Structure 1
Amino acid sequence: MKRAYNFNAGPSALPLAVLQRAQQELLDFRGTGMSVMELSHRSKEYDEVHNRAKQLLKELMNIPDTHDVLFLQGGASLQFSMVPMNFLTDGRVGNYVLTGAWSEKALKEAKKVGETHIAASSKEENYAYIPANESIQLSEEAAYLHITSNNTIFGTQWNEFPDADTDLIADMSSDILSREIDVAKFALIYAGAQKNLGPSGVTVAIIRTDLLERIPENLPTMLDYRTYSTSNSLYNTPPTFAIYMLSLVLEWVKEQGGVGVIEKRNQEKAGVIYAAIDESDGFYAPHAKKDSRSLMNITFTLPNEEVTKRFLAEAKERGFVGLAGHRSVGGCRASVYNAVPLEACEALAQFMKEFPKYFG
């Protein structure tokens, strides 16, 4: 079986061992005679899957008892609306740090709900860096400070999270579980699963439970975090197969040795590709400034559009998938999420070293 070198930005690579386990259990899940997709979400068998996923996430991320884990749908894009609907109450201001397209979209949705304020931004340099923490200027009556921890399009990542004098909320869709963090620092973390947690279809929210007391009454039921917290995310039919896959990915992370081991591996993987960029005498130009570089999404440009097209065509011939950059940056992007093996990164780096000699 030949597997592609999968550098897709999302949905992205899943661990081979997880796919093989799902394949083994697809037709008969643990002696039920049914696929996990066919199980009732009220059944004992699915209940074990659901609660195991929650327990593993709490264990791997060291989530304190002050926080609850919710499984939702709609991706991070729905969270852009849910966050202000639940927490941007009258007289308060939603504060946003702009570091890319997704933070812009989050701000756009918040403006529909209430008053907002841009606390810091790197837009003037096409989001090539993360603003320094000391540059963040909160508004008066701040309801929360919203950040995007990793920016898939621009290849930047927060290395040090702000110590804000308000509740810190983070969209961690593209780097959750990729490094150790202090969850207690955050009032709310949310993430679409399709980068590091599993397949698309489920969104994880880690919420400090005292925030639930601030939610206004009369919100639509499915847009109210309390609905999911009080029902163990089982108010309606959850994305059961996606949660099952999430549980398998979490088992895999645990088997690897935990998030600390994954983080060191991610540093090594990214380092291999960044070295190929930095040692290319300018043939590959990084988009992100060095102190803001992402371990998940590595963005770079080539001398011109013609060379870029030749690079991508040759890369495809060699089995590399998903390397085209976003139109906002151009060039190329290698997304090296948890499930992308070191061997794939080494193969890409070797190709990058060879390309200027033979195809540049």
Structure 2
Amino acid sequence: MAGDPTDYEAPTRREYVKYSGAVVGGGLLAGCTGQSNNESTPTETEADESTTTATPVEGSYTVSMAPAGEVTFDSVPETWATYYPGYADMGVALGLSDGLTGVGQPAEYYTEFHNAVPGVSVDSGSLTALWADGIDKEIFYELDNDVHLISPENMKQSFEWTEDDLAEITENVGPFIGNRIYRRSDGWHNHRYYTMYDAFEKVAQMFQKEDQYQTFKQFHDEFIADIQSQLPAKSDRPSVLLTYAGSEEPETFSPYRLDDKGTNKKQWHDLGVSDALANTSVKQLSAENRSELDYENMLTIDPDVLLIRGHQEKSPEEFEETVLSYMSDHPVASELMAVQNEDVYRGGLLWVGPIQNLFLTEQAAKQVYPDQFGDVTSDRQLFDRERVGEIIR
């Protein structure tokens, strides 16, 4: 990796945050050796070790999360960075936005939902970008964070870091802990996955905010239970095709299978919709699969509802006036049942945390069940923003 650590007067080991164990054998990070590549993957509803609390050890405490293993902290981290915005959202939900210094690409960190919560505001433009044609070690020295909420395996597989690179930054700056949870379709991810709230609990343990996490989770659980109590019978629920197409005049679409169970699909699972791709051979978008669907392909699927990611910054009205208008005038797209019924909507975000998920669940409920929850263009609110702000503050 580029970036010469000799340019910095970093300590050899922070006194207040340290990685559990020593760096051993060819740069292998201690704590990783306990992770088996054959470890079974739990389902979305299965519990894992995250149900336990962080373990105090002689004034310190340890948090265990695959693939990093056990990470020991001598005191609570104050400054932190992450690559994927879903983890940034978790920190904000715990009232820790002041300590966030950087994300992978700030332009892709959607903060409008945060700003819609009373007393909560996040300026993504003030954050440092970790990505610049790759992730250089130099940026970690510059930010000098106490901890990095990034999967060490993700750093190797997606950003071509080595074990030595990870060991160097862990030793001289701060540890890595995290899990790429937003999708479950990458072949290299053969260690344990976490649901959104499993991972959120790990983050809360790390920052010693378990009580605040539990309060937020209780609010979430009550909100979801209320939504689910109003859902129509399964036979009356629509089939949904989730895609990505960033253009306002789309011609091809990247498909997402809802059975992938990544955290960015949580709202669709909670709302009990059926996946239009369930009985097809279409594969989930992944690092290995970049195939796309054109309108002819989509006509063979012909979903009740079509969802298109890449347009969350638009209002529902703006989306209708651009993307839906284009498809309605298209000679092939106009044959789709979803287009004819004007059931084409924004597909939400790819990287999602607990605050964003509340808003996206509300948005999705109004998109697919307008008779129960009101039209997506209405101002009806399905959860209490002020209460969310109180929990965060």
TM-score, structure 2 as length reference: 0.26
Using CA pairs under 8 Å that are at least 6 residues apart, name the structure with larger relative contact order, 1 or 2: 1
